[in-house]
Every structure is written in C-alpha cells, then in structure tokens.
Structure 1
C-alpha cells in the first residue's frame, strides 16, 4: 500500500484535503493516521493569497495539528526563492498574504526601481496593476510568477487565477517569467529541503497538469485523487498518474505507485523542425559544428509559419551554410523524446518533430556563420566525428538507404 511504501507525503490542499471550507471524507482521519505511523507530511498549495499561518489555523480547525514548517504555499516558496537569490527589493501584484510572506523573508516591497516584480493572484488586481508590473519589467526588473494556474474552481464557476494575470503581463512585455509554483520542480524541491535523502517521497494531488506533472518533473511518483481514472495521450506523458485513488483513505488500500524518470525534460512546446543529409559529388555528408553545443551535426532548423517543410530546409541551408540545394526526397520523420527534446539556457525545453531530407548541392560556396556555426565540413558516412549528435548517424543511414521509403522514428 502507498501508506507503507513511502516515508514522506506531499499532499495537496484544495481537492485532496478539502473543497472550499469543507473537509473531504476521511481526509483528516487519514492524515492523522499517517502521522501516527511517523510519516512526514508537507501540505502544498498553489494559491498565493493566504499566509502559511492562515492555513495552519484552518487545518487545526479541521483537526490536524500541523506546524507552519509543514505548509508550502506558492507565496512562501516565491519569497524563499528570492531570498536564495539575494533579492532585497520587489514590486508586487498580488494579495496581502503574498506581501506578508515576502516581508517575513526580509524583502522590501517598493515601487522605486525594484529588482524583481512578483505577480500572483488577488481579487483586487486592476489594469493599472498590470501596467505597473509591465513598466518595472520594461525598466529591467526580473519577472517572477508565484504560479501559472489560469483559473481555480468556485461554486459559481471558474475564477481567474494567478496565471491569468501573469499571462496579461507576459503579453504586455513579451517576457517569459520565472514560475515558482506547481508544476515547476522548485516548489517540490523546497518541500523536501530538510528531508533526509534516503526518505522516499510521493506527491498526492487532484490535478494531473500541476500535481502529477510537477511530481514527475521533480523525479517523484504522483498519485491522483479523482473519481475517475485519468488517461494521458501517451504512457510516457508526465501527466499520467502512477496510481489513482478516490479519497485519501485509499492510501491504506492495496495500491502502489512508482515512477521512473525518463532521460529527457518535459517539453514546454512542440515545434516542427527540418534536417538535411547533404551529399556532394563523392558521396560525402555535410556536417556543421554548432556554437551552442560545440558538437557536429546535420544542418537543421525550424519551420516558420506559412512555410512548407522543403522550403524550410532550403532556406535554412542557405542561411546556415551559404549553399543552394535541391531536395531529393523525404528520408525520415523523427520525434523520439529522448533524442528530440532539447533544453535551452533560458530554461525552456522544446520537443522537435523533425522532417529529414536527402539533398544535393546546386550552387554556392560554404560560408561559416561565426554566431551559430564554428565549422563546416564533409565527412565519409562511415567515418563520422566522434562528437556528432547521437541521433544523426541513424538519420544519415536512413537517408542513404532511403530507397525503401521514409523512416518514422
């Protein structure tokens, strides 16, 4: 059973422990039973409005003798993050609870050249608040969001969450924020900060897109509390729970959970890509050594809006190498996440779906773009450099053997 399988439980609040002001069936009994078995518990919420002290009072009223250190809110986690970054001043778009957590961390709230702008959720947020945040970011302040939830449920229907305000600011300044709350790994890492490394932890939540995805991004198993099984599009989808239970009480039933982290990051976006196996008159293959990773690779690029894939690779080759090429045929379509998900210095991860073509040279002279490409050279297909990107030898083989048709991998 899950209750005996793990030492530490990271439990969501709304939808798991309570619904609004109402505690859910068997929730208090189950939590106290976990305490009786010396389990460590952290209660996590993306709601940036309340202070931890407010939540402690609420849980004690339910009958759970919790301490403030066991409460992890996106507001508190944001304050802790800024403190770790040695940030001393911030402007705030958000609740008094968020402001209180920031002040408690020793961070001054100011409109006078703040180092950071923190955007959270508050029912009193106005157009002028969004404008104020945008102005500070435009003037150089770092953009930090407590969480990215676009909405939260109320008895009267969905209400705008912090994510709705965050995206309004993001659209204004065209800047992506640093997000602290679920499903980002940081909040889970903070929850485990003082937990011994040999303690086995599990996340229990009600939202596949925040709790389960966040758990898996942090390398933890995720248990979904839901009336029905959640089925993600793919078994390798990070939003697929490792177990589904109807109530917290089922932690003590014959159910187990396990997660094995794959060797790639969860992508922020999927992007169409193109690649070229360009051969010369002696059947050598053109490779470029890129400045971003200093590894040899086939020429590749992305497809722009309104552009056909063959047009895209012709353009990319011209821009990247100075060569005019002809596209002979499609030789493969590649999308395996462990090979086609790339993480960038910005922190964003992109999953490329790459259409690879066999190409020949029509005209032009090789030109090295020193900003993106360090070297360009031709290689024998059976004598490729050792530091070539690991998937590209397979693409070359598929192109050479392409008489059988395009490969799908």
Structure 2
C-alpha cells in the first residue's frame, strides 16, 4: 500500500487535488485519512500567488490545509530572494505574488531602485513594462521567473502563460532568468526543508514534463496520476515510478511505488549536435587540453548553423589546435547520456549527439590555441596525458579497433 510507504505526500493541485471548481474523486476523504495516519501533506503549484490564496481555495472545496503546507512558485521565489538578501523587487505579477514576496520581507518597487525583476503574470502588463524591466536587468537586477510554463489549459484551448512573458524579457535583456517553479528543483527543496529528518516523501502529479521530471531532479520518487503518456527510454527522468488513477489508489493494498534510482548525469536542458576527431599521425594522436575543465581530449565541439558535420569537425580541429586536416572515415555516432551530458561551469546542461571522425593532418601550425584551449600536441598512443575526458578513450579505442562498420553508442 502506497500510503504506508511514505511519511509525506507532495501533491500537484490542478489535475490532482482539483479540476476546475471541483475536487478530484475522493480527494477530501483521502487527505483526511492521510492526516489521521500522521502523514504530512504539501501542496506544490506553479501558480505564482500567495499561500493564503491557495488555502482559501482548498478550504472552499472542503479540503483542510494550512499555509505552511503550501509551496507556490510565488512563495518559493520569495524564499529565494530572501536567501540572497534581495529586498526590493520589480514585480511583473498580480497582487497574490506581491503578497507572497512581502511576507518574506521583499517589497515591490520599480525602476533603478530594484534589486531584482520577478516575472509572474498580470493581464495589465504592457510593452512599456517589458522594455523598462529589460533595462533594469541589463543594469544588473537579478532576473527570476516564478516559472516558465508557456501555456495553461483554457476553455478555448491553450492560453499564454508566464513563459511567454519570460521570453519577451529574455529578448529584451539578453539574459535568461533563474527559474523557480517545477520542474526546477528549488520548489521541491523548499518543501523538503519543512519535513523532519529522515522522512520519506513522494510526489504525485499529472504532468510528466513538470511534476515527474521536477521530483526526479530533486531525488524524489514520483507517481503519475491520470493517463498521460510516458517515454520509451527507461532512464528518462519524466517516467514515473508508479501510476494511479486517483488519490484513492494510495490505499490499494496491491499497489506500491518503486525507488527512483537517479542516474549519474543531470537532466539536460537541450540536445545538440556535436563533432569530434581522432587525428592520427603514425602512432600518435592529436589531443588538446580544455580551458573550461582542464581535461585532455580529442578536438571536439558544436555544429554551427549551415555546417555539415564533416565541415564542423575540420573547423574545430583548426580552431582548437592550429592543425589543418582531412576526414578519412567515420568512427561512430555517440549519444550515451552517461558520457554525453555535459554540465558547464555557468550551469548550462547539454546532451550532445556526437559524430566522431577519423582524420589525418595535412598542414597548419600546431600550438595556436583558441579561447577553448590551454594546450595541444601529438601524443604516443601508449602514453596519453591525464586526466582525460571520460568518453574520449572509448572513442579512440573504437577508432583503433578498425571495425568495418561505424559504432552507434
């Protein structure tokens, strides 16, 4: 029985606790029984409003709740600003968001006096607001989004949400915000801090890309409620650890939740094409030491717009080492996230699908290093420098194996 497996239950609101103006089937009684058994309840919503407003709505539906049990993207944003000691925010949002910030000592202001620009939602926001807030961000104001949901369900179909306003400010300021709402981990971290030590929590949501992904990024197991589709790769962060039709299933003796065994890599924000080159000169291989992490590896990088992969790899070799080369064969295409998900010092997380080529040098001057390179040189195959990029020895081994067919990993 799932109810017996956990000490705390984190619940999405719209679609799990209620739909429109009605609670989901059995929910008031289920939550009452969970409380009777000593379980803790937390309500997590991307609605950028105050906890007080959510409590009023829940109580109007016959669901008991307390403000300390509610984590909105608004209250989580307030916690983030308070932790950074940012006390004056330009709030592009409604009254509920301003109330959530004020409860943590963050006052609303506009113009040069603001420490932060906070993006929520308000139908009265104008292009002039966006223009002036963008300038404030360019002048150094901390840029934070309560969430980046592009749309939300409406009676006439999907309606524009906070994410559309975020993109307008990104275009105007040239910067991306820190995002607080699900599926970012911050909201889950806020909810976890309110629990006693050692208590086991589970997330229950109806949206794989938001609720399930966010829980798994925070190390929590997650249940999917409803009939949303899942994903074919079994290690996909968006796949739940169990499914239920309603909250009443928490007391079904035949159901249980598996553990979330998180992989070694972080969830990537984007998938990008990449290229890499094994450049051999006799029994030596061309390597370069990367400026961003200090590791040795083969020349590698991105594919630029309009480039072929073969053209991209020759450009990368030239820019990173000064060597001119030609492609002599295809080694393989690599996408294993265990080695192909990269976390950069600035926080970007990318999953590369890399085409690796076998090349030979044709000219150039070794040692001209670009902005990504600390050093470069040819090294004997039996005496490679360390430490090396984790995946590059494998790619080199594949190249030296001389298979007639390219590898796909």
SS across alignment from 1:204: strand
Kindly report which structure 2 residues correspond to 1:143-162, keeping only aligned pairs within 5 A, or say none: 143-162=143-162
TM-score normalised by the chain length of structure 2: 0.96
> Is 1:394 aligned to 2:394, yes or no?
yes
1:381 touches 1:396 (CA, 8 Å); kept in 2?
A: no
Aligned residue number for residue 278 of structure 1 = 279
Label 1:403 to 1:159 Cα distance change in 2 as closer, same or farther (>3 A): closer
Q: Which runs of 5+ in 1 are unaligned?
A: none
- Cα distance between partner residues in 2 of 1:271 and 1:370: 22
1:43 touches 1:71 (CA, 8 Å); kept in 2?
A: yes
Aligned residue number for residue 315 of structure 2 = 315
TM-score normalised by the chain length of structure 1: 0.96
SS across alignment from 1:274: strand
Aligned residue number for residue 267 of structure 2 = 266
SS across alignment from 1:276: strand
Aligned residue number for residue 179 of structure 1 = 179
Deviates more, 1:399-408 or 1:346-355: 399-408
- Cα distance between partner residues in 1 of 2:400 and 2:264: 29
Aligned residue number for residue 58 of structure 1 = 57
- Cα distance between partner residues in 2 of 1:229 and 1:164: 24
Kindly report which structure 2 residues correspond to 1:160-309, keeping only aligned pairs within 5 A, or say none: 160-226=160-226, 228=227, 230-253=229-252, 254-257=254-257, 258-280=259-281, 282-309=282-309
- Cα distance between partner residues in 2 of 1:249 and 1:119: 36
1:277 touches 1:285 (CA, 8 Å); kept in 2?
A: yes
> Is 1:105 aligned to 2:104, yes or no?
yes
Quote how far apart the aligned CAs of 1:377 are.
2.3
| Deviation digits for residues 39-95 of structure 1 (CA, Å, limit 9, x no counterpart) | 1111010011x3211211222233333111100000000010000011121111111
Q: Which runs of 5+ in 2 are unaligned?
A: none
Kindly report which structure 2 residues correspond to 1:84-123, keeping only aligned pairs within 5 A, or say none: 84-113=83-112, 114-123=114-123
SS across alignment from 1:154: coil
Quote how far apart the aligned CAs of 1:108 are.
2.3
SS across alignment from 2:111: coil
Quote how far apart the aligned CAs of 1:122 are.
1.9
| Deviation digits for residues 202-230 of structure 1 (CA, Å, limit 9, x no counterpart) | 1001111110110111111111111x252
Deviates more, 1:375-384 or 1:141-150: 375-384
2:182 touches 2:210 (CA, 8 Å); kept in 1?
A: yes
| Deviation digits for residues 341-371 of structure 1 (CA, Å, limit 9, x no counterpart) | 0011232210001111111110011124263
Aligned residue number for residue 361 of structure 2 = 361
SS across alignment from 2:153: strand
- Cα distance between partner residues in 2 of 1:157 and 1:405: 49
- Cα distance between partner residues in 2 of 1:382 and 1:112: 62
Quote how far apart the aligned CAs of 1:270 are.
0.5
- Cα distance between partner residues in 1 of 2:130 and 2:122: 12
SS across alignment from 1:216: helix
Label 1:148 to 1:59 Cα distance change in 2 as closer, same or farther (>3 A): same
> Is 1:47 aligned to 2:82, yes or no?
no
| Deviation digits for residues 5-40 of structure 1 (CA, Å, limit 9, x no counterpart) | 111111011110111221111011111111111111
Label 1:320 to 1:386 Cα distance change in 2 as closer, same or farther (>3 A): closer
- Cα distance between partner residues in 2 of 1:66 and 1:9: 13
- Cα distance between partner residues in 2 of 1:243 and 1:230: 13
2:208 touches 2:228 (CA, 8 Å); kept in 1?
A: no
- Cα distance between partner residues in 2 of 1:372 and 1:153: 45
- Cα distance between partner residues in 2 of 1:207 and 1:304: 34
1:229 touches 1:244 (CA, 8 Å); kept in 2?
A: no
Quote how far apart the aligned CAs of 1:252 are.
1.3
1:368 touches 1:374 (CA, 8 Å); kept in 2?
A: no
Quote how far apart the aligned CAs of 1:160 are.
1.6
SS across alignment from 1:320: helix
Quote how far apart the aligned CAs of 1:290 are.
1.0
